[in-house]
Structure 1
Amino acid sequence: MTELTQYTTQNRVAYITINRPGKRNALNPELVESLTSLFLRAGHDEEVKVVVLKADGEVFSAGADLEYLQKLQNNSSQDDLEDTVAIKELLWSIYTLPKLVVAQVEGHAIAGGCGLAAVCDVVYAVPEAKFGYTEVRIGFVPALVACFLVRKLGEGRTKELLLSGDLIDAATASAYGLINFVAEKGEIANSVKNYAERMAVSVSGQSVALTKLLIHKAQNISLEDSLEEAIKLNVQTRSSEDCKKGIASFLNKEKLGW
C-alpha cells in the first residue's frame, strides 16, 4: 500500500508531503495521525530548522474524503470526540511547532485542506489554487479552523469565508492575508526551496521558536500582560548563546551562519 505521507530532509529543511493524489489528498483519520507524527518528528529533529508542507498531485487537499464522511453518519459521540481531538492535535502541532513552517500549495486547498494551510507560518501558492471553507454547505461547522482563522484574518474576513462557503483565488487569498506569496506553477518549488534554505541559515532557530511563542501569547492576553511577557522574553534571550553569538558576529562584521 502506498504511504499516505512522505518525510525527507535536505539542507536543514524537512519536507512533509501528503501522498494521496488519487483521493485529491483528502483527509482521513490515518492521514491525520501520520501528519501529526511527522510534524512532531520534525520538531524534535535537531538537523531541521524549517519544515515545508506540500502535496503530490493536482490538489493540495480537498478536505475530508467521501469514505470518511460516510462513516461519520454511523459514529457515536465518543467516536466524533476522538476524531475531532485528533484533528485539533494536528492543527496545534503545526501552529505551535518551534520551527518555521511553510506551506507549498500547488492546487486547491478546501475545507480541512485550507485549514492545514492556514495554520502554517508562511504560505506559498500557485495562481490557479482556490481556497475556502465549504463546511456550511453540507451542514458542518468549521469549528476548529475558526479558532485560528479569526486570529489570522480578523472577525470580518473570517465570517465572510466561513459563513458563505465560497472559494477564493490565490490573488484574493493574498489580499485577505490568508496566504503570503503567489508563485507560478513552474517556479513555486524552487521559490519555496530557496526561501526555506535561506531562512535555515539566516535566522536563529531559538529566536524563531520564542518569537512564535510570544506572538501566540500576545493574542490571548491583554496588552499590559503581553508587554510583561515580552520583558521576560527579552531578558531570557539576551543571556542565550544564540544572542551572544549573533551580537559578536554583528560587532565583528562577520557573516553569521545559523
Structure 2
Amino acid sequence: MAFEHILYDVKDRVASITLHRPEKRNALNGAMVAELRAAFKQAETDPDVKVIILKGAGEAFCAGADLEYLQQLQLNTREENLADSKELMQLMQQIYYHDKIVIAQVEGHAVAGGCGLVTLCDLSYAVPAAKLGYTEVKIGFIPALVAVFLVRKIGEGRARDLLLTGRLITAEKAADYGLLNEVIPADSIAEHVARVANDLCTGASANSLKVTKKLITGVFDQPLDNALEQAARSNAETREHTDCQRGIKAFLNKEKMVW
C-alpha cells in the first residue's frame, strides 16, 4: 500500500512507522489514522518483522488532532462522529494488542492524541526537550479513549492529574510517572532505540514476546483467578513450543542463542 501521511520501512526485522506531516506537526486526521491502521496490520502479518518503532518526522512527535479535522468534526452528525471515534478506537486496540513489540521514539512534543499514541506503546523513550500531556479538556473535548489505557499504565491517581488538568509535563516527569521508560539525549536516542529493538530481535523468542505481551495486556480483562488459569495454560503451551525447546537446550549446553 502506498502511504501519503506516514513512512513505512522494514530493515533487519524492525519496521519503522514514521508520522510524516512535519508541516502540521504530525497532527492526526482521518487519513493518517487509516494509514496507521494499514501499516500496523502490514507489520503484524509480515513474518520478517519482529519489532516496530513508531516515531515522528520533524520537530514534533505528534501534536494531536489536526485543526482542520477538528473543524470538520463540528459539522458531522453524531453517527458520523461515532464512526470516526471507532476508527481511532480500533487503531488504539490494534497497537495495544499487537503481536509485535511496539517502541515509541519521541523526539519532540507529544500532545493530546499524540501522547495517546505514546501511551499505547510497549516501550517509550523521549528526548529531554519533549513535553507530553493530554490537553483535551482545555478545548472542551475529553481524552475518552486514551483514559482507558492511561489508567492501566500509570494508575488512577496520576491519570486523574494529567487528564483533568490538561497540563504538559517534562519528559523527566513523564518517566517518573511511568509513561516513559527512559529519557535519552537527542544525539543518541535513535541509536538507543535501534539497540533496544535489535536486542529484542536477537535476544528473545518471538513467540515468548508475543505470549508475554498477551498475558500483560490481558491481566485487567478478567478476574484474578481467571488470569492465573490463563497464565498456567500459556505456560504449559509455551513449554511445547519449538522456541522454548531450542532455548532450553542452548542454555543447558551453555550455547548462546541468537533468535
Which bin holds the TM-score, normalised by the shorter protein?
Answer: over 0.9
Matched, 1:185 2:186: yes
**TM-score between both structures, scaled by the size of structure 1:** 0.98
Matched, 1:99 2:70: no
Q: Distance in 2 between matches of 1:152 and 1:96?
A: 14
Q: Distance in 1 between matches of 2:99 and 2:34?
A: 19
Structure 1: give runs of 5+ residues left out of the alignment: none
Aligned pairs (5 A) from 1:32-111: 32-111=33-112
Q: Distance in 1 between matches of 2:222 and 2:90?
A: 22
Q: AA paired with 1:135?
A: E
Q: Which residue of 1 aligns with 2:120?
A: 119
Matched, 1:13 2:33: no
Q: Distance in 2 between matches of 1:182 and 1:12?
A: 25
- Aligned-pair distance for 1:220? 2.1
Q: Distance in 2 between matches of 1:54 and 1:25?
A: 10
Structure 2: give runs of 5+ residues left out of the alignment: none
Q: Distance in 2 between matches of 1:160 and 1:99?
A: 31
- Offset from partner CA, 1:57-100 (integer Å, 9 cap, x none): 00000000110011011010111011100001111111111111
1:59 aligns to what SS in structure 2?
coil
1:61 aligns to what SS in structure 2?
coil
Q: Distance in 1 between matches of 2:56 and 2:142?
A: 25
CA RMSD of aligned residues (A): 1.1
Q: AA paired with 1:95?
A: Y
Q: Distance in 2 between matches of 1:78 and 1:155?
A: 31
- Aligned-pair distance for 1:222? 2.0
Q: Which residue of 2 aligns with 1:233?
A: 234
Aligned pairs (5 A) from 1:144-163: 144-163=145-164
- Aligned-pair distance for 1:2? 8.3
Q: Distance in 2 between matches of 1:244 and 1:203?
A: 13
2:89 aligns to what SS in structure 1?
helix
1:64 aligns to what SS in structure 2?
coil
1:52 aligns to what SS in structure 2?
strand
Aligned pairs (5 A) from 1:12-31: 12-31=13-32
Runs of 4+ in 1 over 4 A off after TM superposition: none
Q: Distance in 2 between matches of 1:208 and 1:135?
A: 34
Q: Which residue of 1 aligns with 2:220?
A: 219
- Offset from partner CA, 1:182-229 (integer Å, 9 cap, x none): 111111011111110111110011111111111111122222221111
- Offset from partner CA, 1:154-180 (integer Å, 9 cap, x none): 110010000000000000000000000
Q: Distance in 2 between matches of 1:229 and 1:89?
A: 24
Q: Distance in 2 between matches of 1:140 and 1:165?
A: 11
**TM-score between both structures, scaled by the size of structure 2:** 0.98
Q: AA paired with 2:258?
A: G
Q: Distance in 2 between matches of 1:75 and 1:208?
A: 41
1:47 aligns to what SS in structure 2?
coil
Q: Distance in 1 between matches of 2:236 and 2:221?
A: 21
Q: AA paired with 2:138?
A: R
